[in-house]
Structure 1
């Protein structure tokens, strides 16, 4: 098991592979990767260094590299400010650092994205700009020719059912009752019917950020900038919007739709689709958090709320998303 000191040594070794001038490492934290800010004599804004310690199927070298290919394309093809990857001295997107006897880590470097995370509900104007940002991401995805060997998670029926299976495990832990799980399962089954009816065409489906919430975008001079593309993958564009809606109040959801519709035609049943994907995004989040016992106390309060305010209304055909 690596310690924080080990990660610092690995990061310092990785920096030797990049031409960043004189650098200073600032440890940021550990989640699905270990992150450092790199202050450089070559760049005022600095860089972000990630050490990918996870060996899960979604964090293999080809999966990480595919994320970087999309970020590189977004940086080259659009005016969006994104965490553009920095290639090492061998022109590679990933630097592999060996440590210890047989251990090795994949390390990636990105340009730092300046901006501030909002600690409040965004204004209508900010939400409208956020919608235009997502519109630009989707527009690029619709036109981008995905390179050969591109491997990213797929957000479709199998992903939803995987989340449901993870939640089923929590009955034995006491986090969920049988009755609560039955309601979540009925909701998920209804959502799978909706998912199965949607066309996988470029107008509806492509590479999405899939996690553009208030911690994954920053504002710089009133303009939003997306960060942390580690969950990007194949999905419905409306699912991308629904994920962002988890963190917006109903009036701001309306403002978001109004701005987004200026550039993209939405299907006639878009409200029903968004409500389906909205609950799907919640179930995905519940499944992710349920792995950590420290989250169970909050989940034990949130799950009944979601069932009462969203799932039961959804099953009864009562609209809830924009109310």
Structure 2
């Protein structure tokens, strides 16, 4: 197990592959990636380093590279401010670095830093409008973009939903949720799977999505929203992208978001029904992700009963909850 100092050594070694003169590295955190902010002697020029430590299959080299290919396309073909990848001296998107003991190689990527502030509160009306326009712009690009043949990213479909359910079952095995509550989750997942299978994967409904645009993955700069951390981007329904963001918005802001987004991107007639199904899917996916961290188990156990009551049971009873 590497320490923060070990990762800093790896980060400094990787920067030798770039034409960058840096002043200091600032450790940001560790999850699927270890991240550092790279400060240069020019106060306005910063970078982000990602050291890819996850052994998850979606983090293989060709999958990571596909994420960066989309980011490069967004940088070329849209007006969005995004974490644009920086190619190394060999013009490669990914730099392979040997570990300290030289036993394995680690993938490392570098991005231009996106200036802005993370909101530690509910967005205002204007901020929500900006966020909706941001998502509409991402989807507009996705609709028009010709995906390369060797593009490899996760697919958010029924299989992905059931994978999350399997991960979530760990809470049942650890007796952190009741069998009754897990049965409700299973029934909800079956119903959501039917909704997923009934959707038409048309150009206007399905494409490359961010899939994780919550309050920690967008920043605001001069009242304009900017997306960051595309590490979970993949193939999915545009409504699933919205549902993920809705998990972190109030009902009033969800209404503002839908009103703004629909002026740019036409929504299907039964969008509320589908959004509510995908909203529950987003909860399953989010809680499943947190089961991987034992430090989160106590919080998950405490929160699940109210989540079951407020969302899953209402969903199974076909009581609208997303916009009312």
- Which category describes the TM-score, using the shorter chain as reference length? over 0.9
Distance in 2 between the 1:22 and 1:188 partners?
49
Compare 3-12 and 277-286 and name the one that shifted more. Answer: 3-12
Structure 2 residue 122 is the aligned partner of structure 1 residue 121: yes
CA contact (8 A) 1:211 1:244 kept: yes
Q: What SS does the aligned partner of 1:89 have?
A: coil
In structure 2, what is the equivalent of residue 76 of structure 1? Answer: 76
Q: What SS does the aligned partner of 1:302 have?
A: helix
- Deviation track 1:222-279 (CA, whole Å, cap 9, x = no partner) reads 0000000001011100000000000000000000000000111101100011000000
In structure 2, what is the equivalent of residue 226 of structure 1? Answer: 227
Distance in 1 between the 2:50 and 2:246 partners?
28
Compare 107-116 and 31-40 and name the one that shifted more. Answer: 31-40
Compare 271-280 and 295-304 and name the one that shifted more. Answer: 295-304
Structure 2 residue 139 is the aligned partner of structure 1 residue 138: yes
In structure 2, what is the equivalent of residue 16 of structure 1? Answer: 16
In structure 2, what is the equivalent of residue 91 of structure 1? Answer: 91
Q: What SS does the aligned partner of 1:66 have?
A: helix
In structure 2, what is the equivalent of residue 6 of structure 1? Answer: 6
Distance in 1 between the 2:53 and 2:69 partners?
20
Q: Structure 2: 5+ residue runs without aligned partners?
A: none
Distance in 2 between the 1:166 and 1:120 partners?
30
* 1:133-172 map, 5 Å: 133-172=134-173
Q: What TM-score do you get using the length of structure 1 for normalisation? A: 0.98
In structure 2, what is the equivalent of residue 36 of structure 1? Answer: 36
Q: Structure 1: 5+ residue runs without aligned partners?
A: none
Compare 20-29 and 83-92 and name the one that shifted more. Answer: 20-29
Moved beyond 2 Å, runs of 4+: none
Compare 150-159 and 19-28 and name the one that shifted more. Answer: 19-28
In structure 1, what is the equivalent of residue 65 of structure 2? Answer: 65
- Deviation track 1:71-108 (CA, whole Å, cap 9, x = no partner) reads 11101111100000000000000000112232211010
Compare 20-29 and 242-251 and name the one that shifted more. Answer: 20-29
Q: What SS does the aligned partner of 2:98 have?
A: strand
Distance of aligned partners of 1:43 and 1:84 in 2 relative to their CA distance in 1, 3 Å threshold: farther
- Deviation track 1:88-145 (CA, whole Å, cap 9, x = no partner) reads 0000000001122322110100000000001110011110110000000000001111
CA contact (8 A) 1:116 1:218 kept: yes
In structure 1, what is the equivalent of residue 180 of structure 2? Answer: 179
Cα distance, 1:9 vs structure 2: 1.1
* 1:45-60 map, 5 Å: 45-60=45-60
CA contact (8 A) 1:20 1:42 kept: no
Cα distance, 1:42 vs structure 2: 5.5
* 1:225-244 map, 5 Å: 225-244=226-245
- Deviation track 1:276-295 (CA, whole Å, cap 9, x = no partner) reads 00000000011111122211
Cα distance, 1:202 vs structure 2: 1.3
In structure 2, what is the equivalent of residue 245 of structure 1? Answer: 246
CA contact (8 A) 2:170 2:291 kept: no
**Aligned pair count?**
323
Q: What TM-score do you get using the length of structure 2 for normalisation? A: 0.98
Distance in 1 between the 2:59 and 2:262 partners?
34
